[in-house]
Amino acid sequence: MLRAKFFFTLVMIVVGIAPAVAARTPSPENAETYIIWPPDGAVIHGGKFWVRMGLRNMGVCPKGINLPNVGHHHVLIDTDLPSMDEQIASDKNHLHFGAGETEARIELPPGKHTLQLLLGDHDHIPHDPPVYSKKISITVQ
């Protein structure tokens, strides 16, 4: 009996490891992130502007803190969504707001740009299901 239990535990551990690698932080089903400002199609003069990050049915929490139903914002600039089971890159196309910021002052060169929000968990990995906004286009003049 004891041996059976041990074997069962062993199997569970082995079986458990595989999904654990891919297991991502769950997000509430109705969670929604969106860009409050600028609106899609906005024309911005001067190049510097505030991006206001909206989040519904979920909370904001700084990086490194593992709590249910929270995450932190990432602003994706001029890029597509990254891989959803890896840490979100940190570069000039992927801005991290790991201190719980909900607004960011951004400066972009003149021209057309895209903006999109993607929420990351305490470890900068998107949730399951991932919480991301519509991708918007803006023009900087």
Partner 1 sequence: MNLARSMSTCAKVFQRRCASLPYRFVLSASARLAGKLLHKYLALAILFFSGVAFAGSTPAPANAFLYIGWPNNDQVISAGKPFRVWFGLRNMGVAPKDVKFPNTGHHHLLIDTELPPLDQEIPSDKNHLHFGAGETETMVELSPGKHTLQLLMGDDRHIPHNPPVYSKKISITVK
Binding residues (CB under 8 A) for partner 1: these are: 36, 50, 52-56, 59-62, 65, 67, 69-70, 97, 99-103
Task: Find the shortest distance in angstroms from Cβ 17 to partner 1.
Answer: 30
Nearest to residue 133, comparing CAs of 93, 87, 73?
73
> How far apart are alpha carbons 28 and 140 in whole angstroms?
35
Task: Find the shortest distance in angstroms from Cβ 40 to partner 1.
Answer: 18
Task: Find the shortest distance in angstroms from Cβ 38 to partner 1.
Answer: 13
Q: Which is nearer to partner 1, 112 or 134 (CB)?
A: 134
Q: What is the largest CA-CA distance in the chain?
A: 74
Core vs surface per residue 6-18: b (16+ CB within 10 A) or e: eeeeeeeeeeeee
Q: Which is nearer to partner 1, 55 or 95 (CB)?
A: 55
